[in-house]
Amino acid sequence: MTSPSSGSSAAGSTQSIPTTGYTDPAQQNYAAEYTGDRGTPTTETGRPDVEGTSVGALMGEVAKDLSTLMRQELELAKVEVKAEATKAATGAGLFGAAGFAGYMVLLFLSFALWWALANVMDASWAALIVAVLWGVIGAVAYVLGRKKFAAVHPKPERTVETLQQVPGALKPN
C-alpha cells in the first residue's frame, strides 16, 4: 500500500488542467486538492489493493470517482466556454468598430467626391450625382442579397435524408 490513488489520475489527481489562455484565478481552482482517503490503495506493484473490501464499497468508490470526474470535466467545460465566449465577444466588438470605421470612411469619401464635383458643377448637382451613385450601389447589393437568400434552404436536406435511412425498428411507434 504505497499510493492512496487507484492508478487513475483523473479522480484523485492534483494536476491543473491547462485552459486555452484564460487565467481567471477564481475559476482556475476547479481540480480539488487531494485530502482524505479517496481512492483505492494500491500495492507495491501498482495494482489496486482490494482484499477485504466489499463489492458494494468498491462500486460506491467507482461511483464517487465518476461523479468527481464528471464535476471536474463540467467545470473545465464551463471555464473553456467562458474563455471562448470572451474571445468571441471581443472579436465581435472589434468587427463592429471596424464596420463603423468603414462607414465613416465611405461617408467622408462621399463628401470629398461631392465637393470635388462641386468644383466642376453646381453643388446641388454634385450631391445628386453622389446620391444616385449610392442608390445604384444599394440596388446592386439588394439584388445580390435577394439572390443569395433565394438559394438558402432552411430544411437540412442531408439530415432529413440520413434520418430516413434509420431502420424501422429504431423509429418511435
- Do residues 84 and 15 share a domain? yes
Last residue of a domain, one of 64, 88, 112: 88
Give pLDDT, residue 20: 47
Residue 2 domain flag:
no
- Residue 133 inside a domain? The answer is yes
15 and 29 Cβ atoms separated by less than 8 Å: no
Q: What number of other Cβ atoms are within 10 A of residue 86's Cβ?
A: 13
How many independent structural domains does the chain possess? 2
Give the domain range for residue 62. 9-88
Pick the more confident residue, 9 or 74: 74
Mean pLDDT of 57-73: 87
pLDDT attached to residue 22: 47
Q: Is residue 145 a part of any domain in this protein? A: yes
Say whether pLDDT at 132 is over 90.
yes
Average pLDDT score, the chain = 76
Whether 74 and 82 have beta carbons less than 8 Å apart is answered as no
Q: Both 136 and 74 in a single domain?
A: no
End-to-end CA distance of the chain: 55
- Going by C-alpha positions, the residue among 70, 85, 79, 81 that lies closest to residue 29 is 79
Residues 17 and 59 placed together within one structural domain of the fold: yes
For 4-122, where are the alpha helices, taking DSSP H only?
A: 9-12, 25-28, 55-120
Distance of alpha carbon 81 from the chain centroid? 6
**For residue 147, pLDDT beyond 80:** yes
In a domain, 98, yes or no: no
Same domain for 23 and 67?
A: yes
pLDDT band at 57 (very low <50, low <70, confident <90, very high): confident
In angstroms, the CA 58 to CA 48 distance is 11
Alpha helices in 4-54 (DSSP H): 9-12, 25-28
Question: Is residue 96 situated within a structural domain?
Answer: no
In a domain, 110, yes or no: no
Same domain for 129 and 77, yes or no, is: no
- 82 and 131 part of one domain: no
Q: Are residues 62 and 126 in the same domain?
A: no
Lowest mean pLDDT among 33-37, 92-96, 107-111, 143-147: 33-37
Q: Does residue 34 lie in a domain region?
A: yes
What pLDDT, on the 0 to 100 scale, is given for residue 163? 63
Q: Is residue 2 pLDDT above 50, yes or no?
A: no
For residues 84 and 127, membership in a common domain is answered with: no
Q: How far is CA 156 from the centre of its chain?
A: 22
- pTM to 2 decimals? 0.46
